[in-house]
Structure 1
Amino acid sequence: MRVTIAYIEEPPFGWTEADGTAMGADIELAELILRQIGVDRIEHCLTTFSELLPGVAAGRWDMNVPLFVTPQRADVVAFSLPVWGIEDGFLVGAGNPKALTSYSSIANSPDARLGIIWGQVQHDSATASGVSEEKIVIFEQQADAVAAVLSGAIDAYASTALGNRMIASRMGSSMIEAVAHEPHTSEGLRTPPLGAFSFDRENVDLLKAFNLGLLSYLGTPDHRARMARFGLTDREIDPAVMKAS
């Protein structure tokens, strides 16, 4: 049985090595579960974020790497059990010169500009916090958004806090800085946004088998150890385990 996984360039979740090999936390988890359920041929398809949902829905590939689960997306694809829960954060210039620590801080800054990848949930989060469309710059690729931060074309790039930490660590604090959003003090403890693999809604058998594999594997010592290599800790894993149990 062959399964094709679509992914995007977004370390530590997925990226392409120099030799063309697909790597990343989500890639490794998908491959492990697929092999457990009897898939003997796994292929990878690099795409853009905007093509993930329409691509899998049209049958151009069999499954997508995880993305945040929303009701609107669930109308288009079938989601697996969640595999991580991660809050948003910013990438900003070294020293965070405009002191941007939340979407509200962008909204309240007279001239701050925010970069977001087309179609990602950060756009809705930003506008819900009062960020005007005039302050938002849309990109197709993460690399372009990061380059815009470095050049000063935008003041912050919104993505997952975890992914931003990985980028900042790789590039160095003298060039770029990852900023965690201020805690949601008015909400108390809350479940962070959850991410899950997605499938064509007609691909019921694969989704069912994949979920059974996830159910027996998520939260195990092997799962936690593998994900730790990519920077995912109990903080990101436990919300998904609790939701799946």
Structure 2
Amino acid sequence: MKVRIAYIEEPPFYWTTADGSVTGSDIELAEVVLRAIGVTSIEHHLTSFDEFLPGVQEGRWDMNVPIFVTAERAEHVAFSAPVWALGDGFVVHGGNPKALVSYESLAARNDARLGIIAGQVQLNSAKSAGVSGSQIVVFKDQPEAVAALLAGKIDAFAGTAVGNRVVAGANKQLDAVAHVVGKEGGAPVGAFSFSKGNHTLLQAVNEQLRQYLGSADHRARMAKYGLMETEIDSVIGGKR
């Protein structure tokens, strides 16, 4: 049994290493789950973010690595049980010279420009907080946005707080700033996605996820990539 899974370049969740292999927290999670349900061959497909949903809908591959679940996306694909909950944050220049600690703080500065990857949920979050269209620069992927930040073309790049820590760790002239999650609601969740007609694979993956998520093995594997209790506990119902 072979399963084709699509991913993009976004450490620590999924990326291609220097030797051409594919790794990351969600890649490892997918492998554990798929092997447990009897999959013998896993084929990775590198794609762009805006091709995720069309690609799985059209059958170019069988499933996508986890992305944020939204009502709009759920109109096009079927999501698995959630696998993590991630708060947003910024990657900024070292020392955070413009004191950009939230979308609201960036919106308050007319001289601040924010980089966002096309199609990702951070765009709506920024706009909802009052960031104007003239302050937003859209990029095709994370490497392009980080390059623009390093070149001084933008003042911050919006992404997940976990992913941003990896970016800042790899670029000593940058800092990661996590946004505070409000008490009125938790961080948004992410899940694998499938075509709506792929009920068999979705059901099998969900059954295995419910058994595996929150286990000691799951927690240890995710911790290697910087995902800790904060990102896991809210989606597993207190399972230990």
The residue identity in structure 2 corresponding to 1:217 is: Y
For residues 36-89 of structure 1, the C-alpha deviation after alignment (integer angstroms, 9 at most, x for no partner) is 000111010001111111111111000000000000000000000000001000
State the 1:13 CA deviation: 0.1
Gaps of 5+ in 2: none
Match of 1:237 in 2: 232
Aligned amino acid, residue 204 of structure 1:
H
Q: Is the 8 Å Cα contact of residues 214 and 239 (structure 2) preserved in structure 1?
A: no
Alpha-carbon separation, structure 2, partners of 1:10 and 1:39: 25
Aligned to 1:33: 33
Query: 5 Å matches for 1:72-87?
Result: 72-87=72-87
| Matched AA of 2:151 | S
Residue 243 to residue 129, structure 1, CA distance change in 2 (3 Å): farther
Equivalent residue number for residue 109 of structure 2: 109
Moved >4 Å (runs of 4+): none
What residue is the counterpart of 2:136 in the other structure? 136
RMSD of aligned Cα (Å): 1.4
CA contact (8 A) 2:110 2:135 kept: no
Taking structure 1 as the reference length, the TM-score comes to 0.95
Equivalent residues in 2 for 1:128-207, closer than 5 Å: 128-172=128-172, 175-184=173-182, 188=183, 190-207=185-202
Q: Please say if 1:219 is aligned against 2:214.
A: yes
CA distance in 2, matches of 1:243, 1:56: 32
2:57–2:194: 8 Å Cα contact kept in structure 1?
A: yes
Paired residue type of 1:205: T
Look up the equivalent residue of 1:17 and give its one-letter code: T
Structure 1 residue runs without a partner (length 5+):
none
Aligned equivalents of 1:104 and 1:218: distance in 2? 34
TM-score (norm 2): 0.97
Taking the aligned partners of 1:31 and 1:40, their CA distance within structure 2 comes to 10
Q: Distance in 1 between matches of 2:129 and 2:185?
A: 18
- Partner of 2:130, secondary structure, is coil
